[in-house]
């Protein structure tokens, strides 16, 4: 079915949006008594930050006063550059019953993210200039920045390349058929060659379909116990190895999405030692949870790639610590309750992750598995470098900030999520670490202080 869109020009709303922003920040904002922590800027001190009515960081100093301002007391909070999510699913167009740009970006703000990168597995897929313009126009009103990843192949079907050059010119920041790999090696090779010209990365969901066919969870003892088909580590590692070879051949940039196996981590480690343009991301749920979450046929723990073994999880943490893995990305994948409330084999893959991401990462900090510096760089500086954008707390720069309490404990109740997706394996659990303030695009996008 052909879908018709009303492509409203962005300029039509420009004056209204400027007015809305002015009204939202009628006064300056002073964030007081925060531990301002930005390792990329060499900042780690308890101080105040002044954000002026234009959304610009005007001053960073002790005891800022003498301004007509909204004062926010951030005592006992850590203030860092806002988080950047390289990988999420906003489900629009086509699946607005699962999520919309509006609900997804509200969830992002609640999770501390000022920038999210939306994947193109929509209906229709983001594989042509018309749909990319439609999406970007819709995203213009969002309270956080929304960047768009375009499809590598038409319809994400793996049969023919999308017009990659045109999509690049229209505003795509990367290319991916996320949800599946480009399994045809010749088509993948052509995609790498085209992306090399633009300098935009190929962001690959690494899974060989012939090896993963009918798989539901990690191939291991839990799958055997539950009588479910497993997805072996090799399904991921075969495509990681192939794409590294294509990156070597073409000189293109390769970004490995949601890396999940020890073998894949080692392949990326060796590619980086070779000097190839290869980066990788890992999700909070793959860092913290394992395949045992699927016991009891818990469909909210069904995700692709699957939650792996304890050995794989330890390799992911090690890869994050030694720099093999660059970024932490949510792979936020919302679904409706009725879609998950069914037999395990029929439930869709995916976890709603934007609003619990920081708590999961913080659990690793609390357990001394990673440092605060490693976490913040992986949530801010490193994804920014992959995208070619800024992540900083500096006078004169636009304010994109997050303040969080590393000690606050809270009960995960998905009914309170901003996201339409309540599919989380953390339901009913007490977690530690909560976002209290997000400033994005220079304006308050979320506030609990």
C-alpha distances out from residue 315 to 57, 234, 272, 320, 321, Å: 39, 15, 16, 9, 10
To the query of whether residue 85 is one of the catalytic residues in this protein, the response is no
User: What token pair was written down for 368?
Assistant: 């001394």
Collapsed DSSP state (helix, strand, coil) of residue 6: coil
Closest CA to 61 of 39, 79, 45: 45
Return d(Cα 74, Cα 108) in angstroms, integer. Answer: 20
Closest CA to 98 of 445, 423, 426: 423
Return d(Cα 381, Cα 273) in angstroms, integer. Answer: 21
Looking up tokens 């949870």, which residue turns up?
Answer: 289
Question: How many C-beta atoms lie closer than 10 Å to residue 287's C-beta?
Answer: 22
| Active-site residue (options: 168, 219, 331, 405) | 331
Neighbouring C-alpha atoms within 13 Å toward the C-beta of 5: 19
Residue 236 host element (H or E): helix 233-250
Q: Which residues pair with 35 in a beta bridge?
A: 46, 78
Return d(Cα 82, Cα 371) in angstroms, integer. Answer: 18
Q: What residues act catalytically?
A: 331
């Amino acid at each position: 079915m052909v879908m018709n869109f009303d492509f409203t020009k962005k300029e039509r709303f420009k004056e209204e949006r400027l007015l809305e922003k002015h009204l939202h920040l009628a006064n300056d904002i002073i964030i007081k008594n925060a531990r301002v922590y930005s390792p990329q800027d060499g900042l780690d001190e308890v101080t105040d930050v002044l954000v002026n009515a234009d959304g610009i960081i005007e001053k960073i100093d002790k005891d800022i006063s003498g301004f007509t301002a909204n004062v926010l007391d951030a005592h006992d909070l850590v203030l860092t550059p806002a988080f950047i999510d390289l990988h999420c699913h906003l489900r629009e167009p086509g699946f607005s019953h699962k999520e919309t740009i509006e609900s997804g970006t509200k969830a992002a703000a609640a999770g501390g993210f000022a920038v999210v990168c939306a994947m193109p597995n929509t209906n229709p897929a983001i594989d042509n200039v018309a749909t990319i313009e439609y999406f970007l126009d819709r995203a213009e009103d969002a309270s956080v920045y929304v960047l768009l990843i375009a499809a590598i192949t038409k319809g994400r079907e793996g049969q023919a390349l999308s017009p990659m050059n045109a999509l690049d010119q229209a505003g795509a920041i990367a290319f991916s058929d996320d949800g599946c790999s480009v399994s045809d090696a010749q088509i993948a090779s052509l995609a790498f060659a085209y992306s090399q010209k633009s300098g935009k990365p190929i962001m690959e969901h690494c899974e060989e379909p012939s090896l993963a066919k009918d798989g539901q969870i990690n191939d291991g003892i839990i799958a055997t116990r539950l009588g479910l088909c497993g997805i072996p580590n090799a399904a991921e590692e075969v495509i990681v190895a192939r794409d590294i070879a294509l990156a070597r051949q073409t000189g293109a940039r390769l970004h490995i999405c949601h890396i999940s196996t020890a073998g894949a981590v080692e392949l990326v480690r060796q590619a980086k030692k070779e000097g190839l343009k290869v980066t990788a991301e890992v999700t909070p749920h793959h860092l913290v949870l394992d395949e045992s979450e699927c016991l009891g046929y818990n469909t909210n723990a069904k995700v692709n790639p699957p939650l792996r073994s304890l050995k794989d999880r330890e390799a992911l943490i090690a890869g994050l610590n030694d720099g093999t893995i660059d970024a932490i990305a949510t792979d936020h994948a919302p679904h409706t309750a009725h879609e998950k409330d069914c037999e395990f084999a029929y439930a869709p893959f995916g976890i709603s992750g934007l609003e619990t991401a920081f708590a999961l990462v913080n659990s690793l900090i609390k357990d001394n598995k990673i440092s605060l510096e490693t976490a913040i760089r992986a949530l801010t500086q490193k994804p920014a470098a992959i995208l070619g954008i800024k992540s900083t707390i500096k006078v004169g720069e636009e304010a994109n900030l997050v303040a969080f309490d590393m000690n606050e404990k809270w009960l995960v109740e998905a009914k309170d999520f901003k996201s339409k997706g309540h599919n989380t394996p953390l339901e009913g659990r007490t977690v530690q670490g909560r976002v209290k303030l997000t400033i994005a695009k220079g304006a308050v996008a979320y506030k609990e202080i």
